Amino acid sequence: MPQTIAVLDFGSQLTQVIARRIRECQVYSKIYHFATPAAKLREDGVVGIILSGGPQSVYAKTAPHPDPAIFELGVPVLGICYGVQLMGHFLGGKVALSKEREYGHGHLTIKQPGKLFAGLPRRLRIWNSHGDKLTKLPPGFKATAISENSPFAGIEDTKRRFYGIQFHPEVFHTERGVDMIRNFLVGICRARQDWTTKDFIAHAVADIRAKVGKGRVLLGLSGGVDSSVAAALLHKAIGKQLTCVFVDNGLLRKDERNYVEALYKRNFKIDLRVVDASKLFLRRLKGVTEPEQKRKIIGRTFVAVFEQSLKSIGHAEFLGQGTLYPDVIESVSIGNNPASLIKTHHNVGGLPERMKLKLIEPLRELFKDEVRQVGAALGLPKEVVWRQPFPGPGLGVRVMGDITADKLEILRNADFVLQDEMMKSGFYWKVWQSFAVFLPVKTVGVFGDERTYDYVVALRIVESIDAMTADWAKLPYDLLQKISSRITNEVRGVSRVVLDISSKPPATIEWE
């Protein structure tokens, strides 16, 4: 049994980020409901408690409060933001109500490093996001750090091993925040640093087995990182009780379907059903040029085909999904509050309820990079684990205007050349995305002695951190030249290659 750090969740959207930072320190943590009885925490052998932030005021009628007995357990407690107000409220300090929240950067000046700020510079940039403020320390506490807006930005009671910080150490914007968390876990709670990806997998496997029992799980495999890792993990846990469905929508890249079949069916011996619905998709898309309409048709058709195929596969109790913890975007350039910038993905929304399937989402607490680590540890090849993102509507949003089988064929062949050269040169792994776009524009060219009148292909190669902003990648000219000449030589129907040199914003990454 690993030593557990309990994170009590008071409703902050950053609670999962705290858990992630704890994993980064190789310590095991579990997120608990805020009112979990202290006795339960004792029973679980908790060696330290973190009180998360939260959007409420401690005085609000509906304010989440912990079991006061957690302060009697004799284990160290770290209050973050709302967690500090709770300490003030429960331990005899004073908290001032404030109508406005205070967001953004501040500066921390450490007066007495103690164990929490050990080894850190005396001045650090921090990230604030709080409403109420602690105005009087509870007995036994002293202030260890101040900020421009609080004389109690860091507080401690070393006797009881209670610590509090007004700001958010878990977000990227707080300098050395992870070191503060590590100091708490290791220096104060004395937690063992032995929690690894392997342990995560072992835990997840046990958890899946306990949940699924003898039941059956269906999973839609897209070939992307998330669903691939979910499939590999579920397969490790329940083997033949897992059936994966891969829908060929006719909008896949060259050899995509064969690749997925070879990897999962032959290599992993997963029960994989491939549903060829390409004709249906193309029929429904015929003559449609408006991008949003194309997307809607593709989305709706996917759900219909997927639902039908699940019915024909036979009874199952569970639907597996590669849902990740929604990406928290940690970029200063976007908005003010990192917590408000959360995206959720649900690619088959509504379907589980209609089909009475229980969701099973073994990756839902993980972040993308952690999912990649899990994938690698499960033996998935680098090509899958480090795969570039590919949009759900596939080549449907990369053929401009109406979609036909011929245009898709030209795009597939051009895109294949691009991927091949990106892989060979190693740039595939260095950029965010690299793909070809089909332009329904004919231009004049010359091939041998013949005049040609053929289509244009654009190369879209971008660098990005989170896809919210992107910049076109400055690849070496000789590589671009090779890609261009190979496309015009090898791909019939293309006589001109252009390079997209637009950033996002104003252009998006995909063209439609």
Active site residues: 81, 168, 170
Is the CB of 113 or the CB of 392 nearer to ligand XMP? 392
CB atoms within 10 A of CB 446: 9
Count of CA atoms in the C-beta half-sphere (13 A) of 1:
9
Count of CA atoms in the C-beta half-sphere (13 A) of 482:
13
Is the CB of 127 or the CB of 325 nearer to ligand XMP? 325
DSSP string, 281-349: HHHHHTT---HHHHHHHHHHHHHHHHHHHHHHH---SEEE--PPSPPB---TTS-S-GGG-B----TTT
State the nearest-atom distance from the C-beta of 261 to ligand XMP, in Å. 21
Binding mask 49-88 for ligand XMP (x = CB under 6 A): ----------------------------------------
Instruction: Say whether residue 13 binds ligand XMP (CB under 6 A).
Output: no
State the nearest-atom distance from the C-beta of 265 to ligand XMP, in Å. 24
Query: Which residue shows structure tokens 């289509």?
Result: 455
Instruction: Say whether residue 392 binds ligand XMP (CB under 6 A).
Output: yes
Q: Which of 393, 407, 456, 483 binds ligand XMP (CB under 6 A)?
A: 393
State the nearest-atom distance from the C-beta of 260 to ligand XMP, in Å. 16
Is the CB of 301 or the CB of 433 nearer to ligand XMP? 433
Q: Which of 391, 413, 438, 487 binds ligand XMP (CB under 6 A)?
A: 391
State the nearest-atom distance from the C-beta of 468 to ligand XMP, in Å. 8
Decide: 476 and 499 in contact? Cβ < 8 Å.
no
Angle between helix axes 225-238 and 197-212 (nearest 10 degrees) is 70
Q: What does DSSP assign to residue 150?
A: E
Q: In the range 479-508, which residues lie near ligand XMP by CB under 6 A?
A: 504, 508
Instruction: Say whether residue 309 binds ligand XMP (CB under 6 A).
Output: no
Binding mask 440-469 for ligand XMP (x = CB under 6 A): ---------------------------x--
Dihedral angle sign, alpha carbons of residues 239, 243, 244, 246: positive
State the nearest-atom distance from the C-beta of 502 to ligand XMP, in Å. 11
State the nearest-atom distance from the C-beta of 279 to ligand XMP, in Å. 22
The reply to whether omega before 352 is within 30° of 0 (cis) is no
Reading phi first (left if > 0) and then psi (alpha if -120 to 50, else beta), residue 441 is in: beta
Is the CB of 26 or the CB of 503 nearer to ligand XMP? 503
Is the CB of 271 or the CB of 327 nearer to ligand XMP? 327
Query: Which residue shows structure tokens 């403020």?
Result: 133
CB atoms within 10 A of CB 239: 11
- List residues bridging with 127 in a β-sheet: 105
Is the CB of 209 or the CB of 430 nearer to ligand XMP? 430
Of 215, 111, 102, 119, give the one whose Cα is nearest residue 167: 102
Of 301, 303, 256, 294, give the one whose Cα is nearest residue 397: 294
Is the CB of 387 or the CB of 504 nearer to ligand XMP? 504
State the nearest-atom distance from the C-beta of 299 to ligand XMP, in Å. 8
Is the CB of 225 or the CB of 360 nearer to ligand XMP? 225
Instruction: Say whether residue 389 binds ligand XMP (CB under 6 A).
Output: yes
Query: What number of chain residues touch ligand XMP (CB under 6 A)?
Result: 10
Stretch that binds ligand XMP, among 128-136, 170-178, 196-204, 387-395 (CB under 6 A): 387-395
Q: Which of 199, 402, 500, 510 binds ligand XMP (CB under 6 A)?
A: 510
What are the strands, taking DSSP E only, across 167-216? Answer: none
Decide: 82 and 56 in contact? Cβ < 8 Å.
yes
Stretch that binds ligand XMP, among 167-175, 359-367, 384-392, 404-412 (CB under 6 A): 384-392
Instruction: Say whether residue 326 binds ligand XMP (CB under 6 A).
Output: no
Stretch that binds ligand XMP, among 90-98, 142-150, 204-212, 391-399 (CB under 6 A): 391-399
State the nearest-atom distance from the C-beta of 204 to ligand XMP, in Å. 24
State the nearest-atom distance from the C-beta of 485 to ligand XMP, in Å. 27
Dihedral angle sign, alpha carbons of residues 193, 40, 7, 96: negative
Instruction: Say whether residue 301 binds ligand XMP (CB under 6 A).
Output: no
CA distance 399 to 182: 49
Instruction: Say whether residue 433 binds ligand XMP (CB under 6 A).
Output: yes
Q: In the range 106-135, which residues lie near ligand XMP by CB under 6 A?
A: none
Of 501, 494, 464, 466, give the one whose Cα is nearest residue 480: 501
Is the CB of 29 or the CB of 434 nearer to ligand XMP? 434
123-130, strands of its sheet edge to edge: 28-33, 4-9, 46-51, 77-80, 162-165, 150-157, 142-147, 102-110, 123-130
The β-bridge relationship of strands 471-472 and 450-463 is antiparallel
- Rounded to the nearest angstrom, the gap between the alpha carbon of residue 288 and the centroid of all alpha carbons in its chain is 32
Residues in contact with ligand XMP by CB under 6 A are 389, 391-393, 433, 467, 504, 508-510
